């Protein structure tokens, strides 16, 4: 065995950890530059993007604004902000040959841009608010304990890549963190002595610090993985403190849409017939598990890093009847 291959072999014994389950603040308003006293969409968008950057919005969000606002202006032939009307928005939507969910995503970006124009005093009314796209809601399942145990039982924890993937999957299922957070997790965020994730706002979508506990099995896997990471980084001369790395020591994600962990989980799901082994399902599984164990919606919402409770109830697919039933217990 070559030295480089040897560094990918995990010598710690993890065979007894799992068994296969039985079957069965914002920038002040500023006046944007205008052409002949009329504000162009181009100038308005540039100003809004600067405001978003100063406010700390993620680059991906800013890029979405730019893409869809430019698409709207291009398809409708609109040059000035004061030309934007509800009819023009409907015209734009009608011209799209895409599924309703994609239309809704693009509409949300355009609405968000128009809301910022309103806040800056460039538009007098929120005429766009009644415009919506109806999308049939599909209940998305969350991963179960059986799903995660099946995955862990079929993966070879003696192989570095499979150990890394198994640890990432279990981490998402046990703590509910997003796959993008997983990719940016550093050693400083993992407190093995206290069995606690100490997440800072820099790697969180909502920019809020968060503490999340984890169990003994996950602590053991993280300990072994981090030890193996050190050996790989030394072998390839890589300088980083990431918890999840490639077999040559680099980051597992080069962009939000190119994440090696997500790709590997999709591969395992297809190979082993595990439909709920993906980042979203693992995160939903975490939330549903907490709910079943009696955790409050407020605590679950905080753990997931959601902006408000409405998002969490939608995430858990809790309808108004179910909420009323739960509340009746406290009357």
219 is written with which tokens? 């602590």
Token pair 């990431």: residue: 242
Q: What is the pLDDT of residue 135?
A: 74
More confident residue, 230 or 138: 230
- pLDDT tens digits, one per residue of 169-218: 999 999 999 999 999 999 999 999 999 999 988 888 878 888 999 999 99
Q: Is the pLDDT of residue 232 over 50?
A: yes
Domains in the chain: boundaries: 41-119, 140-322
Place domain 140-322 in its CATH homologous superfamily: Intergrase catalytic core (1.10.443.10)
31 is written with which tokens? 């006046």
- pLDDT tens digits, one per residue of 135-153: 765 656 789 999 999 999 9
Token pair 């890029």: residue: 63
Q: Is the pLDDT of residue 328 over 80?
A: no
Q: CB-based burial of residue 81 (10 Å sphere; 0-12 exposed, 13-18 middle, 19+ buried)? A: buried
Same fold, 41-119 and 140-322: no
- Please state the rounded mean pLDDT for residues 102-121: 93
CATH T-level fold of 41-119:
DNA polymerase; domain 1 (1.10.150)
Nearest to 23 by CA among 230, 208, 273, 229: 273
300 pLDDT tier (thresholds 50, 70, 90): confident
Q: What is the pLDDT of residue 30?
A: 46
């Amino acid at each position: 065995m070559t030295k480089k291959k040897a560094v990918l072999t995990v010598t710690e014994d993890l065979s007894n950890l799992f068994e296969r389950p039985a079957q069965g603040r914002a920038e002040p308003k500023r006046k944007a530059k205008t052409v002949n006293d009329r504000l162009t969409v181009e100038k308005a968008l540039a100003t809004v993007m600067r405001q978003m950057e100063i406010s700390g919005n993620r680059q991906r969000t800013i890029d979405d604004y730019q893409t869809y606002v430019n698409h709207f202006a291009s398809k409708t032939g609109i040059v000035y902000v004061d030309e934007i009307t509800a009819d023009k928005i409907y015209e734009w939507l009608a011209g799209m040959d895409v599924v309703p969910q994609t239309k809704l995503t693009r509409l949300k970006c355009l609405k968000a841009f128009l809301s910022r124009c309103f806040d800056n005093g460039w538009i007098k009314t929120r005429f766009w608010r009644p415009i919506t796209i109806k999308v049939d809601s599909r209940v998305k399942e969350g991963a179960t304990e059986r799903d995660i145990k099946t995955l862990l039982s079929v993966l070879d924890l003696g192989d570095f890549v499979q150990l890394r993937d198994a640890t990432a999957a279990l981490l998402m299922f046990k703590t509910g963190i997003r796959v993008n957070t997983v990719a940016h997790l550093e050693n400083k965020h993992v407190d093995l002595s206290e069995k606690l994730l100490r997440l800072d706002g820099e790697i969180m979508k909502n920019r809020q610090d968060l503490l999340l506990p984890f169990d003994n099995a996950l602590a053991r896997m993280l300990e072994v993985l981090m030890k193996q990471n050190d050996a790989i980084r030394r072998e390839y001369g890589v300088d980083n403190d990431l918890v999840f790395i490639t077999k040559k020591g680099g980051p597992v994600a080069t962009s939000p849409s190119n994440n090696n962990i997500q790709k590997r989980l999709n591969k395992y799901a297809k190979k082993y017939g595990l439909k709920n082994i993906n980042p979203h399902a693992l995160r939903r599984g975490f939330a549903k598990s907490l709910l079943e164990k009696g955790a409050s919606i407020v605590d679950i919402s905080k753990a997931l890093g959601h902006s408000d409770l409405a998002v969490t109830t939608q995430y858990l697919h809790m309808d108004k009847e179910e909420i009323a039933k739960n509340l009746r217990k406290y009357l």
